[in-house]
Amino acid sequence: MKPFFVFLLLTAAVFAKDLPKPERFEKAIAAFEQADKDSKAPKAATLFVGASNIRRWESLPDRFKKDKVINRGFGGAFLSEVLHFADRIVLPYEPKQIYLNAGGNDLHVGRTPEEVLASFKAFAALVAEKLPKTKLAFLCIPTSPSRWDEVETVRATNKLIADFIHAGGDKIEFIDYFPMLLGADGKPRAELYVDDKLHFSEAGYDVVTSVIKWQKEIKAIEARYSEKAAPKAPIVFIGSSSIRRWETLAADFPDKPVLNHGFGGSEVFDSVNYAHRLVFPFQPKQIVMYAGGNDLNAGKTPERVLADFQAFVAKVQAELPKTKICYISTAPNPKRWAQIKEVRAANALIQAFCAKDDRLQYLDVHPIMLAPNGEPKPDIFVEDQLHMNAKGYELWKGVVGPVLME
């Protein structure tokens, strides 16, 4: 049976249920088309399409600066309506990547998980047929405080879609940020939503962004332990690229059970998000974190870096109250030397915070990385003038080594 014929059959099933007519969004769709006439949309872009959590994502271009981003969210949309308008707000762009987020409104009006799955299958079939080179990812249906009574239906729908995606190999990606929306009590974290308790706040979009950016790298870290178990009571190093690129970590501390769980480009908040996968399963006796520089480079304030580190500490201490946490100060480097004032401010805030808890330790690498003229030593960085070479890590080794637990 030809793919497009399958698509037609699935589409018929999608609209079998009595739903509001898709034409209710004609104005919104026409506005997108007019915008494209006024300013031609880029080809080979990354397209975000779906309901109101996409439409309201105003910070989207700033969060994915390396990509040409198109936002085609229309508030209140059903997944079936995204499918209905795909020939006008998806196919014409010939995007290299599509992120689809819809389905929650379908469930809210009584559609079943199976019906939402049918809509997704039809959308996936259309993309495969008309845009064979385009990558498709489904952003899981989120929960929220205002629709908490629907959570089991949401979970069931996400599982159906995830199972369908995983059965097809690596053709489609399922982006699962659902666990990160929940607090220690198992309910939605209030700070991730705006006052209507339905839509994401910027903190909520932080979560979604984190998973989009890092899901594959996190899975790769987890895959290391599929055949070889991690040591008991290890020392977990976590954070951004200066941790990930520390390739001599195990050799530098041969008598210590160190694990390198760094993921390049990450911010402090990303380690908060992934603590349940990169930290808790390993039950470490000690954690060494390096993160904060990317946060400041992205425009976050020193106070925000502190707040995110405090969130990481709180999350770890709730789960692992005896675990020691060491924070390596944000390092100076030639490439970001213009940000040194913010770097020093963030370091001072975190140092003061660590001094209040004997389970925390601040490791200051800042002084040893500066030359007599007060600027970064030029011979401890690779060509990008951001990351360290072997000489740089040798300096870090001297600071970190003495505090590692037996």
State the pLDDT at residue 14.
46
Q: Between 4 and 167, whose confidence is greater? A: 167
The yes-or-no verdict on residue 92 having pLDDT over 60 is: yes
User: Helices H, strands E: what count in the chain?
Assistant: 18, 10
Residues sharing a CB contact under 8 Å with residue 65, sequence separation 6 or more, in sequence order: none
CA distance 312 to 58: 26
Q: Looking at this protein, which amino acid is placed at residue 195? A: D
Q: Is 64 helix (H, G, I), strand (E, B) or coil?
A: coil
Average pLDDT for the chain: 93
Please state whether beta strands 172-175 and 324-328 pair in parallel, antiparallel, or not at all (unpaired): unpaired
Distance CA 328, CA 309 (A): 12
- What's the whole-number mean pLDDT along residues 196-207? 95
67: nearest Cα among 38, 88, 92, 47: 47
Q: For residue 143, which amino acid is it?
A: T
User: What are the E-state strand segments in 86-131?
Assistant: 97-101
- Give whole-number Cα distances, 54 to 208, 209, 346, 347, in Å: 11, 12, 32, 35
Domain end point (choices 192, 217, 242): 217
C-alpha to C-alpha distance for 326 and 9, rounded to whole angstroms: 57
Buried b (16+ CB within 10 A) or exposed e, 260-286: bbbbeebbbbbbbbbbebbbbebebbb
Q: Which CATH number goes with the domain that contains 72?
A: 3.40.50.1110
HSE, CB side, 13 Å, CA atoms: give it for residue 184. 9
The residue among 104, 51, 112, 109 whose CA lies nearest residue 76 is 51
One domain for residues 155 and 247: no
Same domain? For 205 and 235 the reply is no
**C-alpha Rg value of the chain to the nearest Å:** 23
**DSSP bridge pairs for 231:** none
What confidence score (pLDDT) does residue 18 get?
A: 65
Q: Name the domain boundary from 174, 197, 217.
A: 217
Q: How many domains are there within the chain?
A: 2
Average pLDDT over residues 249-264: 96
Give the per-residue pLDDT at 381.
96
Range scoring the smallest mean pLDDT among 86-95, 174-183, 349-358: 174-183
Q: Percent of the chain beyond pLDDT 90? A: 86
pTM assigned to the model? 0.82
- Same domain for 257 and 284, yes or no, is yes
Q: In angstroms, rounded to a whole number, what is the distance separating the alpha carbons of residues 97 and 100? A: 10
Query: In terms of residue numbers, what domain contains 96?
Result: 3-217
Task: Say yes or no: 304 and 199 in one domain.
Answer: no
Candidates 87, 60, 86, 84; CA nearest to 71 is 60
Indicate whether 389 belongs to any domain: yes
CB atoms within 10 A of CB 341: 10
Specify whether 306 is located in the same domain as 396: yes
Residue 392: pLDDT above 70?
A: yes
Instruction: Write down which residue in 217, 242, 262 finishes a domain.
Output: 217
